Amino acid sequence: MPSAVAQQQARRRAIAAILKQNTIVRQTELVKLLRNEGYHATQSSVSRDLKDMGAAKLNSGYSLPEQLNGDNEAALASVAEFVRDIRPAGPNMLVITTAIGAAQRVALTLDRINWPEIVGTLSGDDTIFIATTGASPQRRVSSRLRQKLAKAKS
């Protein structure tokens, strides 16, 4: 019998496949499709999975972040539409506000681009705190983010 972790990983792979093939607007739809494929799923487990996977709920349905494959430009372009504001908060902290429900997806992208100035991110529903290695790196990250996000939006 597979372990709970193996079951969770298999369910998450199934979720990713379902989201690629279908437009899912409600978690209950996803639960039903997973159950039809033989996966044990509840609304709360699916909600947790979507959050941990960095899914964002858009008007068109749930969407997972793109895989980076070393392309930071494309990764930032994939989340540019969600970013609303970037502002400093002290000498080594940035605060990014996003569309509601998109902060985790944007934070995950920032974590994965692996810029050396970023120590880590912490996200809520529509707010991200970015810790940087200092004041100068904070300004560099802010400037680079603004530039790359503006380029992606144009």
Smallest CA-to-CA distance from 127 within 145, 105, 108, 103 is with 103
Question: Which pLDDT score is estimated for 76?
Answer: 86
Q: 122-140, pLDDT tens digit by residue?
A: 999 999 999 999 999 999 9
* % of the chain beyond a pLDDT of 70: 95
Kindly state the percentage of the chain with pLDDT values over 90: 51
| HSE-up (13 A, CA, CB side) for residue 146 | 12
For the full predicted model, state whether its pTM sits above 0.75: no
Which residue intervals of the chain are DSSP H helices?
Answer: 4-21, 27-36, 43-52, 72-79, 103-113, 135-153
The answer to whether the beta carbons of residues 47 and 27 sit under 8 Å apart is: yes
Q: Quick one: pLDDT at residue 93? A: 96
Taking every pair of C-alpha atoms in the chain, what is the biggest distance, in angstroms? 53
Q: Which two tokens stand for residue 71?
A: 């392309």
b/e for 23-55, b at 16 or more Cβ within 10 A?
ebeebebbbebbeeeebebeeebbeebbeebbb
* Structural domains of the chain sorted by starting position, each given as residue range(s) with its CATH number in brackets: 4-63 (1.10.10.10), 72-153 (3.30.1360.40)
